[in-house]
Structure 1
Amino acid sequence: MFRLNQFIILLVTLLSVGTGCSTTRHVKHERRYSHMENRLATYIAAQDARIGVAVIIDGKDTVSVNGNRDFPMLSVYKFPQALAVADYCMKNGVGLSDTISIHGDEMKENTWSPMRDRYGVGDLRLPLYELFEYSLRDSDNNACDILFRLIGGTHVADSLMKAMGYDDIVIASTEDEMHRDIYLCYQNRSTPIAMASLFDRFYRREMRHDSPLHEAIGEIMMACTTGNRRLPAPLLPTNAVIGHKTGTGDVNSQGRIIGVNDTGYVFLPNGGGYAVAVFVSDSARNMEDTERMIADISDIIFRSLFNK
């Protein structure tokens, strides 16, 4: 009995020590990034908008404000859609240089479409790579819907997200459907943490090297032409590199912008990096001021991590 009691005391002691070590590590991380979280929370509380932020640092630590709340993705969903297109094309033997048929009625006129501006309204064929460029780099709405048609609809992209474990990323409506009913924009939604996690998986965990299709997606997002006044703004004078996808919405019946978003992965000059998602919904400010909110948030994160 004496030996049994000694064993129980030893076991309890070891478990207590182990728990103490784990708590110490957790507290260390909390202390390390608490200044960033506090600054973000203070900044967000002062804005007349609903804002969610998530930052995943080197795949180890997560800082978030409203990180588990739903926000409309808008064109941010063109990134998970591209992953679904890659999955479909690999299964069906479609390569980047293969051409896709485009019908003239798919070149919608009353929507954002640099592709339509270049080629006009009419039947044509374009390489898959070029459709990726228009959709991801230029956020072309017609290119996006053509890609949805190619893979069989929005539910195919949504199903892939669920299969990958991203239940909080919901893809339900096409760009054309959202254009005809702007409140469907709220239906295509994600939490900041889910989207930041997807970018972390793609860039840091090297999903982008899974195939030539994924390589193309990664390269195109690193050449994104939209949202330069958002996440990239404070990074421009530095050697940091970003791959990102933006989303921009119309004004709703309350006179507020449905959403202004930017999400991506930042490669720091010191070799580190972080995935980041910033969703700004129902902003009462104009577009320029709302974009500045994202730039300010990006600056807080970058300076906190890179000690600038």
Structure 2
Amino acid sequence: MKTKFTMYILLLLITSSVFAQTENLQKNIEQILSGKKATVGIAIYGEESKDILNINGNAHFPMQSVFKFHIALAVLNEVDKGNLKLNQKIFIPKEQLLPDTWSPIRDKYPNGNCKVKLSEIIKYTVADSDNNGCDILLRLIGGTKTVNDYIHSIGVSDVAIQVNEEEMHLDWDAQFKNWTTPLAAIGLLEIFYSGKLLTKESYNFLWTIMAETSTGGNRIKGQLPKGTVVAHKTGTSGTSKDGVTAAINDIGIVVLPNGKHFTISVFVSDSKENNAVNEKIISDVSKLAWDYCVQREK
């Protein structure tokens, strides 16, 4: 059932437009994007000013590993309902630790056939973007449909989650079945940040994991002051034979010096730029958003 809070956020996002104060920010971002051989989707929401800026905010972008945030929310919902426990041990057969994919879990437990705490699997999946961990969690809660239905049930409808990591690795086109809009991404972040979606224990657990995320250091966090708290989730595709990168993404919550925050999602898709350029697009946008929000504090 949609809560009043989620309905409020959705209404805010649906009716959002660039406020007068953000015109310069938008112009500066458009300058960054000018000449780039990529399609970029951006959404930024500032708690301090209540301003929302978006560029291609309602377009569909492939998520890649960004959807591991959605999966973590769905798993923790099952924890909060008492169907799962963070300290319970999950049996992982060796055949589920696929060899040709990114998987710190497999590196730690190369022989499989082991029991691993659910909390550890979630940490590997979100903070380290473990692909095997992702699919283990999906099997545990009933697959992608469970996650898709849960995210829709809390009021975020501009999202589709239809395939797992193994399926994306087998078929280049499969990744496009998992999509979100940039506005839906910050809407979900705001719903999470409200503290009304999960229990305090589950919220604190996931917040800590996202703040300790090891991937994407050159994206949202790349140009922010050292020590800035950023709770985020990245997504990264491979590059096709014709040199097109489908997804270099990052979504997150950035804590400002005054304790307020802004949420940001940047999706770089269909890019013929190299990864360094793609990541710099994200860090440039994040730095501009930071400067804007800090200035609004004064």
TM-score normalized by the length of structure 2: 0.89
Q: Does 1:88 align with 2:74?
A: no
In structure 2, the residue matched to 1:230 is 219
Q: What is the CA–CA distance in structure 1 between the aligned matches of 2:147 and 2:88, rounded to whole Å?
A: 21
In structure 1, the residue matched to 2:195 is 206
Note if contact 2:76-2:198 (Cα within 8 Å) is conserved in structure 1. Answer: no
1:1-308 equivalences under 5 Å are 30-58=19-47, 60-203=50-193, 205-207=194-196, 210-237=199-226, 239-307=227-295
In structure 2, the residue matched to 1:7 is none
- Give the secondary-structure state (helix, strand or coil) at the position aligned to 1:55: strand
Return the offset for 1:56.
Answer: 0.9
Q: Where in structure 2 are there 5+ consecutive unaligned residues?
A: 1-15
Structure of higher CA gyration radius? 1
Q: What is the CA–CA distance in structure 2 between the aligned matches of 1:253 and 1:194, rounded to whole Å?
A: 31
Q: What is the CA–CA distance in structure 2 between the aligned matches of 1:37 and 1:179, rounded to whole Å?
A: 36
Q: What is the CA–CA distance in structure 1 between the aligned matches of 2:201 and 2:61, rounded to whole Å?
A: 31
Note if contact 1:173-1:187 (Cα within 8 Å) is conserved in structure 2. Answer: yes
Over aligned residues, Cα RMSD in angstroms? Answer: 1.8
Instruction: Return the structure number with greater helix share.
Output: 1
Note if contact 1:208-1:215 (Cα within 8 Å) is conserved in structure 2. Answer: no
Return the offset for 1:86.
Answer: 1.0
Cα distance per residue 1:77-111 (max 9 Å; x no partner): 00011111111233343211111111111000000
Note if contact 1:40-1:65 (Cα within 8 Å) is conserved in structure 2. Answer: no
In structure 1, the residue matched to 2:5 is none
TM-score normalized by the length of structure 1: 0.86
In structure 2, the residue matched to 1:14 is none
Note if contact 1:68-1:191 (Cα within 8 Å) is conserved in structure 2. Answer: yes
Q: 1:49 corresponds to which letter in structure 2?
A: A
Q: What is the CA–CA distance in structure 1 between the aligned matches of 2:241 and 2:155, rounded to whole Å?
A: 34
Return the offset for 1:171.
Answer: 0.6
